[in-house]
Structure 1
Amino acid sequence: MPARAASTRATKSKIPQVEWSAARPAPVVLVSGPEELLAERAIRAIRDALVAADPSVEVSDLDASSAAPGDLVTLASPSLFGEPRLIRVTSVERLAESFQAEALRYLEAPADDTTLVLRHAGGQRGKKLLDAVRSGAGGGIEIPCAEVKRDADRSAFAAAEFRAAGRRISPGALRILVSAFQADLAELAAACRQLIVDVTGDIGETTVRTYYAGRMETDAFAVADAALAGRRGDALVLLRHAISTGADPVPIVAAIAAKLRAMAKVLDAHGSAAQVASDHGLAPWQVDRARRDAQGWRPEGVGRAIVMTARTDERVKGGARDPEFAVERLLTFLASRGEP
């Protein structure tokens, strides 16, 4: 997750690389990367730490793309009563050249009792300033907030949300939840928070399905699970229910393809779930799940199922007049475990 991005960045930087979850104040803090939710949390944690240390801290915001010459120096100047200061600078990836020049001068002699947070969402603009911070000018730290793309990283994020709240969620419920919110980390975080607030006791699969049955991805994986387990009738019923509640055939086929790819990775893989997960970019629970899905399947059957799924994917994206029938044929084929 962000840890991998941080370790990669560390080879190019002389300043400490700090996880977003361990964000702390420093004379200069570079919050880099496109994952806005993690960046917001890191910056909020820095503010909370400063307020806890001194409630009189003066907080100022500055937009690097529209800042006027002298704005940064003015905000960093000592106040009449000498309160500590936090200056949060946004849009550094679109900074004005005048701001970059002023910020570079500031790094040569940072103001006392001041924390300067530079938020850079990505891209090459502002590279001179980023390079200066990363070289150690100003005595800063960097908090990389890389985009969370991998299923294993989203799963780890969601699991941490429940762990931080002192709540337990079953592996199956976690899988359904992560599958339902693959496109937006902020939505996943909000879903975790809703379950934490609304549900008492341990959180299981039934609860998650009840809350998020309307999510297409959740319906899609329920259909895929039934078909891969050989339950043709259940798969067809679930498919018709999903379609009737607004689901599209495309994500259903995509869910099947994702599960088949995971099955192909673990079918002949030996070793612990953790080892296989590390080798193939999966979470350990995904390895366990893929191994369960693969029970009763032969490698040849998985291969045929992957080919059939690719053809069905083409059909539901415009290559067939009746995409729902194409998916029904695929489910029937999968229920036979890919055997002719």
Structure 2
Amino acid sequence: MAESSAFGSTLLVQGSEALLSQRAVAKRVAQARREHPDAELTEIAAAELSDGRFADLIGGSLFASWAVVVVHELADLPEQALPLVRQTALDPFPELCLVLVHAGGVKGKGLIDALKKARVTRVTADPVKAWELPKFVAAEARSLRMSLDAQASQDLIDAVGTDLRALTGALRQLASDYEGEQVSASMVRRYFAGRAEVTSFAVADDALAGRPGAALEKLRWALSTGVAPVLVTSALAGSLRGLGKYLELRSARMSDNDLARQVGVPPWKLKELSRLSRDWSPQAVSIAIRAVAHTDEQVKGAAADPGFALEQMLLTINQARQVGRRP
């Protein structure tokens, strides 16, 4: 099916994930430029559309009859500009390619609802949920023509974090340095060795698995290499929340995919949670979460020695796990 023209149309890009939003805008602008390379492109914040500015933009110029107008931060559109923007969005000129960008929320909802009711073309740019991140990484890897297995995808997320820009940047580095190779989990861990997030999650993994000695050793190494204490408490809080949700929902009649979605993890990680659940009870998880929350307050200023506070937290978590193992 032939691609419809970008001109004489309006595209609404809605959602708070900046990378996905910018990609949607760039894709539409590129389409318009392919159709009319001489089209005049204007990108402007909605707050600046006052005193007839919008009317000037959509009319093109003396030298270019085709216009591409991208309006960012639509929620900040001035009241006086709303009628013309609405009218134009619902019935754009044949020579106009209009892109409206709204980050979400209730501000500007009236205009958004009107555009949706009129079935204006819409692209969502919602944040990628935690359990969807491996799928996002896999898709990005394919776009870079690189092969990345499931464990490597998760290790990359643990290493770099959940920011989509950071993940795509890391994938580009891997694709460049390992061109044509299958990228394994060990390669990812080696490549990003020393990253704060990797170290923090390694501490959390050992603590929940009942390896307090290894957890303390990695904690001391992490702190000596400059890892912020708050990253350790953050990693432990996330791991414990996931385990707690799994313990609560594991008896529910649902598929692995649905269970993973509810817990907030990729489906393959359910096996790890299943292993951990043998040694943890909901009560034990609750004790551990309270210990992490208390330590988080301490490392943010209440404790004179954050390192000592973190060590005591790991010991408390291990004691909680012992409670969970009792019949």
Q: TM-score surpassing 0.5?
A: yes
Residues 307, 73 of structure 1: alpha-carbon distance in 2 compared, 3 angstrom cutoff: closer
**TM-score, L = length of structure 1:** 0.78
Secondary structure of residue in 2 paired with 1:47: helix
Matched, 1:50 2:37: no
Whether the aligned pair in 2 keeps the contact of 1:31 and 1:142 (CA below 8 Å) is yes
Q: CA deviation at 1:68?
A: 5.0
2: CA distance, partners of 1:311 / 1:61: 47
Q: What's 2:130 paired with?
A: 151
Letter of the structure 2 residue corresponding to residue 111 of structure 1:
F
Map 1:57-206; keep pairs closer than 5 Å. 57-67=39-49, 69-77=51-59, 84-107=66-89, 109-136=91-118, 140-148=120-128, 150-182=129-161, 184-200=163-179, 201-206=181-186
Q: CA deviation at 1:237?
A: 2.0
Matched, 1:331 2:314: yes
Whether the aligned pair in 2 keeps the contact of 1:69 and 1:102 (CA below 8 Å) is no
2: CA distance, partners of 1:309 / 1:107: 50
Q: CA deviation at 1:47?
A: 1.7
CA deviations on 1:85-142 (whole Å, 9 max, x unpaired) are 4221223222233432322342464211422101223455544433332231xx6222
Q: What's 2:242 paired with?
A: 262
Q: What's 1:306 paired with?
A: 289
Residues 69, 213 of structure 1: alpha-carbon distance in 2 compared, 3 angstrom cutoff: same
Q: What's 1:282 paired with?
A: 265
CA deviations on 1:183-225 (whole Å, 9 max, x unpaired) are 6332233223222222332223333333434432221101111
Secondary structure of residue in 2 paired with 1:59: strand
Residues 314, 61 of structure 1: alpha-carbon distance in 2 compared, 3 angstrom cutoff: closer
Whether the aligned pair in 2 keeps the contact of 1:333 and 1:339 (CA below 8 Å) is no
Whether the aligned pair in 2 keeps the contact of 1:170 and 1:205 (CA below 8 Å) is yes
Q: CA deviation at 1:309?
A: 3.3
Letter of the structure 2 residue corresponding to residue 328 of structure 1:
E
Letter of the structure 2 residue corresponding to residue 288 of structure 1:
K
1: CA distance, partners of 2:158 / 2:43: 36
Residues 122, 264 of structure 1: alpha-carbon distance in 2 compared, 3 angstrom cutoff: closer
Letter of the structure 2 residue corresponding to residue 143 of structure 1:
V
Residues 297, 57 of structure 1: alpha-carbon distance in 2 compared, 3 angstrom cutoff: same
2: CA distance, partners of 1:191 / 1:24: 35
Q: CA deviation at 1:243?
A: 0.3
Percent of counterpart pairs with the same letter?
Answer: 34
Letter of the structure 2 residue corresponding to residue 35 of structure 1:
E
Whether the aligned pair in 2 keeps the contact of 1:224 and 1:256 (CA below 8 Å) is yes
Residues 311, 107 of structure 1: alpha-carbon distance in 2 compared, 3 angstrom cutoff: closer
Secondary structure of residue in 2 paired with 1:86: strand
2: CA distance, partners of 1:300 / 1:172: 30
Whether the aligned pair in 2 keeps the contact of 1:162 and 1:168 (CA below 8 Å) is yes
Secondary structure of residue in 2 paired with 1:143: strand
**TM-score, L = length of structure 2:** 0.80
Whether the aligned pair in 2 keeps the contact of 1:262 and 1:287 (CA below 8 Å) is no
Q: Aligned residue pairs: how many?
A: 316
CA deviations on 1:143-174 (whole Å, 9 max, x unpaired) are 222344x3124333223211322323233332
